[in-house]
């Protein structure tokens, strides 16, 4: 399979990238890891006139934690997330999701930023970002705006990203106090997209929940933030009854469709079970350590 013809640009700075995006408008597409875009081009689901390859821009692959914020650059790849000791120790929901995205060869190239911009409702990172209450910095030639993950997604493969904008940075509130997380994913075989995924991110104070984040994968037209379940957990001690109630609320927030991966009832039930297990795992992790 051969993509339709396009012109190729390989800018070396972010400014150059933004100028190209501005100039090319609808016809220009950013090429990050290419692990969704190139398959789309080959299937001719997309045929932009121009590709703007950002892989030669230096310094876009960062991950750092400062000023109470975890910052992630647009070329931070799944593999780097899988290997990061910072994420393993302080952001287990990210570390656990990273190793379950696609397969190791795809992970060598695919990026978190590209996944978010691609906005596949079965993509894993969107749910993780919703659970972590992330914010995205969208830069264009003229300026920059910040959009919360919960306001970013708009239906299958849809986002509020404008054609002239680059997803330039992901900001996540740094964890403090005791925190824990988990990413639960059901897949038909290793490397598959999720049948159902649940992301859980918890921060605790004195044995009570200060904040809880729950994101759902592949059970709706976009990644879903289970806000009622999150609210039910806030301020509570995480006893089994509270966890059960939150899990039921998360299942109610899911809006799956029946397909060859499972029925509506089945998927909703997996959300319930995964939320329960994920919350317990996150709670145990918060108890064990991760003080920041």
Partner 1 sequence: MNRSITATVNGEKVSTEVEPRLLLVHFIRERLRLTGTHIGCDTSHCGACTVLLDGVPVKSCTVLAVQADGRQLTTVEAIGAGQLHPIQKAFKEEHGLQCGFCTPGMMLSSFALLADNPDPTEEEIRWALSGNICRCTGYMNIVKAVRSAAVQMKQAAAVPAGAVAGS
Ligand X SMILES: Cc1cc2nc3c(=O)[nH]c(=O)nc-3n(C[C@H](O)[C@H](O)[C@H](O)COP(=O)(O)OP(=O)(O)OC[C@H]3O[C@@H](n4cnc5c(N)ncnc54)[C@H](O)[C@@H]3O)c2cc1C
Residues in region 51-70 near partner 1 by CB under 8 A = 51, 53, 55
Contact residue for ligand X among 92, 123, 180, 181 (CB under 6 A):
123
Tell me, by CB under 8 A, how many residues bind partner 1.
Answer: 28
Tell me how far apart the alpha carbons of residues 146 and 139 are, in angstroms, rounded to a whole number. 9
Nearest to partner 1 of 35, 203 (CB atom): 35
Contact residue for ligand X among 110, 121, 180, 262 (CB under 6 A):
110
Cβ 174 to ligand X shortest distance, Å: 22
C-alpha closest to that of 101 among 84, 137, 126: 126
Residues in region 166-205 near partner 1 by CB under 8 A = 190-191
Residues in region 20-59 near ligand X by CB under 6 A = 29-37, 39
Contact residue for ligand X among 18, 96, 111, 283 (CB under 6 A):
111
C-alpha closest to that of 258 among 270, 269, 267, 271: 267
Tokens at 40, concatenated: 């789309």
Q: Which does 8 bind (CB under 5 to 8 A by kind): ligand X, partner 1, none?
A: partner 1
Cβ 173 to ligand X shortest distance, Å: 21
Chain centroid to Cα 226, Å, comes to 15
How buried is residue 131: exposed, middle or buried, by Cβ count under 10 Å (0-12/13-18/19+)? Answer: buried
Any contact of residue 7 with partner 1 (CB under 8 A)? yes
Any contact of residue 106 with partner 1 (CB under 8 A)? yes
Q: Which does 6 bind (CB under 5 to 8 A by kind): ligand X, partner 1, none?
A: partner 1
Q: Which does 51 bind (CB under 5 to 8 A by kind): partner 1, ligand X, none?
A: partner 1
Q: Which residues bind ligand X (CB under 6 A)?
A: 29-37, 39, 74, 101-102, 106, 110-111, 113-115, 117-118, 123-125, 161, 166-167, 191, 193
């Amino acid at each position: 399979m051969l993509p339709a013809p396009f012109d190729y640009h390989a800018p070396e700075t972010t400014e150059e990238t933004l100028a190209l995006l501005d100039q090319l408008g609808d016809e220009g597409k950013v090429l990050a890891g290419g692990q969704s875009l190139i398959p789309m081009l080959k299937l001719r689901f997309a045929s932009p006139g121009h590709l703007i390859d950002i892989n030669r821009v230096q310094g876009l692959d960062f991950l750092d934690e400062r000023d109470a914020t975890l910052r992630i650059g647009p070329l931070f790849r799944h593999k780097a997330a899988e290997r990061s000791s910072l994420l393993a120790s302080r952001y287990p929901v990210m570390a656990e999701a990273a190793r379950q995205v696609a397969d190791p060869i795809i992970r060598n190239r695919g990026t978190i930023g590209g996944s978010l911009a691609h906005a596949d409702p079965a993509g894993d990172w969107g749910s993780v970002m919703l659970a972590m209450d992330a914010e995205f910095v969208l830069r264009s030639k003229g300026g920059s705006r910040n959009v919360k993950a919960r306001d970013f997604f708009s239906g299958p493969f849809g986002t509020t990203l404008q054609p002239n904008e680059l997803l330039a940075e992901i900001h996540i509130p740094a964890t403090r106090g005791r925190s824990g997380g988990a990413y639960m994913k059901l897949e038909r075989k290793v490397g598959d997209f999720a049948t159902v995924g649940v992301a859980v991110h918890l921060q605790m104070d004195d044995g009570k929940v200060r904040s809880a984040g729950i994101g759902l994968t592949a059970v709706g037209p976009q990644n879903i933030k289970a806000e009622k379940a999150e609210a039910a957990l806030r301020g509570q001690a995480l006893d089994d009854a509270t966890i059960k109630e939150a899990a039921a609320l998360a299942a109610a927030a899911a809006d799956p469709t029946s397909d060859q991966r499972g029925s509506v009832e089945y998927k909703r039930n997996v959300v319930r079970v995964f939320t329960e297990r994920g919350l317990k795992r996150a709670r145990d992790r918060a108890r064990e350590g991760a003080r920041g």
